[in-house]
Amino acid sequence: MNHTLARRPFLALGALSLAALAVAGLSLPGSAFAVVNSVKVGAILPLTGQTANFGQDTLNGLKLALEKDTSMPKVELVVEDTLGTPAGSATAVNKLISTDKVSVIIGEVASSNTIAASAPAQNAKIPLMTHASTNDSITKGKDFISRICFIDSFQGEVMAKFAKGELKAKTAVILVDSDSDYSRGLRDSFKAAFTKEGGKVVEEISYSQKDTDFKAQLMKVRKEKPDVVFLPGYYTQVGAILRQSAELKIKSKYLGTDGWSGEDLFKIAGPASAGHYVSNHFVADDKDPKVQAFAKEYQAKYGKVPSDMAALGYDAAYFIKNAVRTADSSDPTKIKDAINGTKNFQGITGTISLDANRNAIKSAVVTKTTTTGFVFHARVNP
């Protein structure tokens, strides 16, 4: 559909109703003057592969929001599976831009995938807003790339301070996913903050996303007996690592990050999934009334507790609609400007204000794992 043509009558109508309101002495909140009637939004998500939980949960959140919010603009969502890989993410973004001609794109989840998708989006001047990729480098020097989640220099520091302050940990081993920009970035930020707090990182050990047997790495952990093991990884490998760690009777506490939050972690690790501390964007048992309302709706629709990924997907849909409304246009550059200028957007995952580097300044939650999921432990503000 031709957006420009479709918009014209609505523009006229918008101007008319504005004038009518002015005459009547009424005022409306700024975002209520939506004149653009529809917008094509792309989403690049890992619907299959090792991080499929992330893609499925995001899509659940997006759909819940789009079904619920029937206000203008109407969103035509085009979803592409990235297979959870950098190459698949670049292909997906190129297809959405050249074939579907979307105005704006949401995604990916894993930082390495978003990095691969960001160059083609920036070059084509189509805004790419990631709801979940936290690696610091993602938005740097790319004005069409933004995010509504916190970044890893914050997340690593949250867990380092938690380890030192609350757990009184003196020593840490870091297990690093060498295939992931996310994991490497968190290793660096955790290490810097933990060392600054007076702790000592006694060893850094790498694993690969292709690994299924982590015994060699875990034997080293067992030998070091650190107070904590910092494990910034994704749930498929983390689940296996926790299970094998318990088999080796390792007593150290594990500290995790947002990449742990796939429901398969609990299936893979079984009883070994309980008792660890993890940083997340959201947790469903948070007392905040808007979290409770969302969790109830999500549970009713999908029959399960929403993950932070689901909440980020939900926020992404509202956030993008808000930006299109502010831009008053389906023009990608105008939407980019509206996204980048967003302040105090009230989301389920917190209040979202984008800074000069197009990163969201937001709080994190520290959660504790049970055998089935995450429970609230503390909220940490930036």
Site residues (vs ligand PHE, CB under 6 A): 54, 109-111, 132-135, 182, 258-259, 261, 281, 308-309
Q: Rg of the Cα trace of the chain?
A: 22
CB of 61 vs ligand PHE, minimal distance in Å: 12
CB of 235 vs ligand PHE, minimal distance in Å: 8
CB of 6 vs ligand PHE, minimal distance in Å: 35
Select 61 or 226, whichever has its Cβ closest to ligand PHE. Answer: 61
Select 7 or 184, whichever has its Cβ closest to ligand PHE. Answer: 184
CB of 129 vs ligand PHE, minimal distance in Å: 14
CA angle 121, 100, 129 (to 5 degrees): 35
Select 38 or 189, whichever has its Cβ closest to ligand PHE. Answer: 189
Select 103 or 279, whichever has its Cβ closest to ligand PHE. Answer: 279
Dihedral pair phi/psi, residue 220, rounded to 5°: -70, -40
CB of 355 vs ligand PHE, minimal distance in Å: 18
Q: At a CB cut-off of 8 Å and minimum separation 6, what does 8 contact? A: none
Select 185 or 226, whichever has its Cβ closest to ligand PHE. Answer: 185
CB of 175 vs ligand PHE, minimal distance in Å: 16
Select 230 or 327, whichever has its Cβ closest to ligand PHE. Answer: 230
